[in-house]
């Protein structure tokens, strides 16, 4: 069922940025600072929600103390049901912005690109970061090539029209987002992103892809374990193919 919007729309920021974190103590403060500068540059009203899954390295504490004087930066410390997609959902449900922007917090996604995508979502329902259109890319050529091949597999098996179904960098107009069924999308890990794209496509949301070139992770380590993620995503693609075949997404 579509969720009702939880907030009074008065005094709504232009953009809510959802930043899911796990063990990102050394990235979160510089990232939020860069985002604030970008939003100031284009004169946008923003709120930034850091959604931390009780990181043992003190990510939430670092963000809270660095931005104690900025009411536009909210730190949510989760204590149950950990997970990337559930954290993003919680951030979205606690946000107020007319546009919701979701990005990684390790500088794989560049603040400049993210802010451009949030501007795109003022004009169409969904702005999507893509590594596989002209101007996009990744510093790690092997990962780039494997992701490229995997996206071709996804496009053929799921009928998605997007070139990059795995970037996880997107901005969506709030009114369009809340038409979608969150229970069908927000669970698991990065697989939530291709469920979001598929259901958006199915619901007829308008979209524009924006080329993004990933940065190197600035500090700390990745949480993605290649083989287990590959298996998880492939299981999910097969499940969605089945539901596509019987027309029951
Ligand atoms: N809240 C929350 N964030 C997570 C979790 N796992 C990963 N993240 C965040 O999701 C983003 C992507 O994770 P990352 O390890 O960089 O994955 P990679 O880019 O595929 O290597 C980063 O901002 C992480 O901090 C989680 O379980 N909970
Ligand atoms: Mg990363």
In a domain, 9, yes or no: no
Ligand 1 centroid from CA 115, angstroms: 20
In a domain, 111, yes or no: yes
Q: List CB contacts of 121: < 8 A, sequence separation 6 or more.
A: 99, 101, 127, 171, 172, 173
In a domain, 237, yes or no: yes
In a domain, 140, yes or no: yes
In a domain, 1, yes or no: no
Among all chains, which residue has been given the structure tokens 């958006």?
200
**Any idea which ligand is nearest the CA of 49?**
1
In a domain, 4, yes or no: no
Q: Total domain count for the chain?
A: 1
- Our answer on whether the CB atom of 21 is closer than 6 Å to any ligand 1 atom is yes
Residue 171 · residue 121 · CB < 8 Å:
yes
Q: Which domain holds residue 180?
A: 15-245
Ligand 1 atom at minimum distance from 223 CA = 15
CA dihedral 8, 13, 15, 21 (to 10 degrees): -80
In a domain, 212, yes or no: yes
- Our answer on whether the CB atom of 166 is closer than 6 Å to any ligand 1 atom is no
Ligand 1 atom at minimum distance from 51 CA = 1
Ligand 2 centroid from CA 219, angstroms: 10
Give the H or E element holding residue 52: strand 46-52
In a domain, 115, yes or no: yes
CATH number at residue 31: 3.90.550.10
The pTM assigned to this predicted structure is: 0.94
Ligand 2 centroid from CA 9, angstroms: 33
Query: What is the chain's pLDDT, residue by residue, as a tens digit (249 residues)?
Result: 444 454 445 579 999 999 999 999 999 999 999 999 999 999 999 999 999 999 999 999 999 999 999 999 999 999 999 999 999 999 999 999 999 999 999 999 999 999 999 999 999 999 999 999 999 999 999 999 999 999 999 999 999 999 999 999 999 999 999 999 999 999 999 999 999 999 999 999 999 999 999 999 999 988 878 899 999 999 999 999 998 888 776
Which residue, by CA, sits nearest to atom 11 of ligand 1?
104
């Amino acid at each position: 069922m579509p969720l009702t919007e939880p907030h009074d729309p008065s005094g709504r920021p232009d953009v809510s940025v959802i930043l899911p974190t796990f063990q990102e103590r050394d990235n979160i403060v510089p990232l939020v600072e860069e985002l604030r500068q970008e939003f100031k540059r284009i004169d946008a009203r923003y709120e930034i929600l850091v959604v931390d899954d009780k990181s043992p390295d003190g990510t939430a504490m670092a963000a809270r103390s660095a931005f104690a004087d900025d009411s536009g930066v909210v730190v949510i410390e989760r204590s149950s049901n950990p997970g990337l997609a559930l954290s993003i959902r919680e951030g979205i449900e606690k946000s107020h912005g007319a546009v919701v922007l979701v990005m990684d917090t390790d500088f794989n996604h560049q603040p400049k690109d993210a802010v451009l995508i949030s501007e795109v979502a003022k004009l169409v329902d969904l702005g999507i970061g893509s590594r596989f259109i002209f101007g996009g890319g990744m510093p790690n050529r092997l990962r780039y090539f494997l992701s490229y091949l995997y996206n071709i597999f996804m496009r053929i098996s799921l009928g998605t029209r997007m070139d990059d179904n795995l970037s996880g960098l997107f901005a969506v107009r709030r009114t369009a987002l809340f038409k979608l069924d969150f229970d069908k999308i927000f669970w698991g890990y990065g697989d939530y992103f291709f469920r979001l794209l598929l259901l958006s496509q199915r619901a007829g949301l308008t979209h524009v892809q924006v080329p993004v070139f990933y940065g190197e992770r600035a500090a700390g380590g990745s949480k993605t374990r290649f083989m287990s993620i590959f298996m998880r995503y492939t299981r999910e693609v097969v499940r969605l193919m089945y539901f596509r075949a019987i027309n029951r997404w």
